[in-house]
Chain A
Amino acid sequence: MIENISIYELLTLSTILFFIGLYGFLTRKNLITMLMAIELLLNTSVINFVVINKYLYPNMLQGVYFSIFIIAVAAAETALAISIIINLYRLKTSVDIAETETMKY
Chain B
Amino acid sequence: MAIASVTSKKILRAVIYLLLSLLGIAAIYFMMDYNFLGALQMAVYGGGIIILFIFAVLLVHHIEGELEEPPTARKIGMAVLSLLGLGITLATIYAHDFKVAIASESFDIKDIGRGLLSYGDGGYILPFELISVLLLAAMIGAIIIAKGQKKSVNK
User: A: which residues have CB within 8 A of B?
Assistant: 1-2, 6-8, 10-12, 15-24, 26-30, 32-33, 35-37, 39-40, 43, 46-47, 50-51, 54-59, 61-62, 64-65, 67-69, 71-80, 82-87, 89-90, 95
Contact = CB atoms under 8 A, between A and B. Distances in A.
A56 B116 CA distance: 21
B101 A56 contact: yes
B138 A80 contact: yes
Q: Is the interface of B mostly helix, strand, loop or mixed?
A: helix
Interface of B: 2-3, 5-7, 11, 14-15, 18, 21-22, 25, 28-29, 31-34, 36-37, 40-41, 44-45, 48-49, 52-53, 55-57, 59-60, 67-68, 70, 74-75, 78-79, 81-83, 85-86, 89-90, 93-94, 98-101, 103-105, 107, 111-112, 115-116, 122, 124, 127, 131, 134-135, 138-139, 141-142, 145-146, 148
B14 A33 contact: yes
B125 to A, nearest CB: 11
